Amino acid sequence: MFTYKVGISAQEHDQFAKASNQTNLLQSSNWAQVKDNWDNERLGFYQDDKLVASASILIKRLPLGMTMLYVPRGPIMDYQNQEVVDYVIKSLKKYGKSKHALFIKFDPALLLKAYKIGEEVEENSKTLAVLENLKKAGAQWTGRTMEIAESIQPRFQANVYTQEDMLSTFPKHTKRLMKDAQKRGVITSRGTIDDVQAFADVVALTENRKGVALRNYDYFKKMMTIYGDDAYLHLAKVNLPKRLAEYKEQLAQIEKDLSETAENQKKRLTKLTQQKNSVQKYISEFEEYVGKYDDELIIAGILSVRFGNVMEMLYAGMNDEFKKFYPQYSLYPKVFDDAYADGIIWANMGGVEGTLDDGLTKFKSNFNPTIEEFIGEFNIPVSFLYKPAMYAYNKRKQARSNHEWALKF
């Protein structure tokens, strides 16, 4: 016998979510605290008193006492079990009616495809079968959307599966840029809640550069507070005067070596001259910055959050004046290494366009991600006003030109 319960505990829901193969941060009970401009409820679905499905639901209040319900990356259940699927969809609709919902949206953490860029793979037959199960249960599929802006969550994402030697998985040009960042004195570390303001400042610079408005200090601090040790704030810093002094010492040593090298040592002279030119270039760069900025300056950062054994890399920012320092090529590997050390199996770099020809994909390809294509969004009609409500929803969505997931360097 199937039953469902409104208001299951955060502990029961989170334990079920973490034990599933659909673990996702957006279904963590704490995510509802982050999204506190929505109401929230957790529903548990039981078969013979055993929890077989769970959903953390965001509830958006609309005019005239109506609502919209959204289950991000959920509900969590065995989608191959038609009985369970039928009951969960039917129960969600019943709950939606109690909340005067126009419709319910959900986008399960189920993959149609997973592949490396350039690979050709077939769609997952089990996921295609699930699609039919959901349609039979009355859910309406929005289809194979291709653009980030067409859905609440991106249907395509760039996901990095962690391993001990992450460096070996990166392309040659990425390794070269990592070395360039190191030569310029970029140091990466995990920050604390005391560093949130500095992170918010570099995010604001990125917002200004891209012409988008995203999150601010209060939002980032709230996220760090809610998730505690599960929030990872990674920062890239550079000590400008210290690094400049080191370059000047290097230059003095190179000039000394040049003066002591015989004219017939052509190869050595050529090598030393190349080193001198390179160091002089770095000195010229750093002299422009020293005096203009603080001694130790945060030039980039990434805020990520783990849930169970997975991680979402949510927000990133960079001071564009220091783009030649390539701080992102120190930051991203640091995130992956720390994730692996903490038992995290993957770190999602965020959404990309389905065409894979956008700037996001080009940048993220530097870290050899797996492109994951989700099954997509579904709607459960609740009200007789469903069709005009969806028309208004889609018109509003089309008018929104910016998207949060675009903020990735």
- Domain definitions of the chain by residue range: 2-110+123-143+375-406, 160-238+294-370, 241-289
Name the CATH code of domain 160-238+294-370 (choices 3.40.50.720, 3.40.630.30, 3.60.21.10, 3.30.70.2860): 3.40.630.30
Helix (H, G, I), strand (E, B) or coil at 208: helix
Helix (H, G, I), strand (E, B) or coil at 198: helix
- 180, 329 in Cβ contact below 8 A? yes
pLDDT in tens, 20-34: 999 999 999 999 999
Q: Which two tokens stand for residue 63?
A: 């005019």
Q: Digits of tens for pLDDT over the chain (409 positions)?
A: 999 999 999 999 999 999 999 999 999 999 999 999 999 999 999 999 999 999 999 999 999 999 999 999 999 999 999 999 999 999 999 999 999 999 999 999 999 999 999 999 999 999 999 999 999 999 999 999 999 999 999 999 999 999 999 999 999 999 999 999 999 999 999 999 999 999 999 999 877 776 666 789 999 999 999 999 999 999 999 999 888 888 889 888 988 888 888 888 888 888 888 988 988 988 888 888 887 887 889 999 999 999 999 999 999 999 999 999 999 999 999 999 999 999 999 999 999 999 999 988 999 999 999 999 999 999 999 999 989 888 888 888 777 644 443 333 3
- 175's enclosing H/E stretch is helix 172-183
Which residues sit opposite 237 in a β-bridge? 187, 298
Tell me, yes or no, if the two domains 2-110+123-143+375-406 and 160-238+294-370 fold the same way: yes
Mean pLDDT of the chain: 93
Q: How far apart are CA 42 and CA 16, in angstroms?
A: 12
* pLDDT the model gives residue 397: 77
pTM: 0.90
What one-character-per-residue DSSP string does 67-102 give? EEEEEET--EE-TT-HHHHHHHHHHHHHHHHHTTEE
* pLDDT the model gives residue 401: 46
CB neighbourhood size of 231 (10 A): 20
* Amino acid in the structure at residue 228: G
Q: What superfamily in CATH does domain 2-110+123-143+375-406 come from?
A: Gcn5-related N-acetyltransferase (GNAT) (3.40.630.30)
Q: How far apart are CA 318 and CA 313, in angstroms?
A: 15
pLDDT in tens, 328-385: 999 999 999 999 999 999 999 999 999 999 988 999 999 999 999 999 999 999 999 9
- 351, 174 in Cβ contact below 8 A? no
What count of Cα atoms within 13 Å lies in the side-chain half-sphere of residue 219? 16
* pLDDT the model gives residue 211: 65
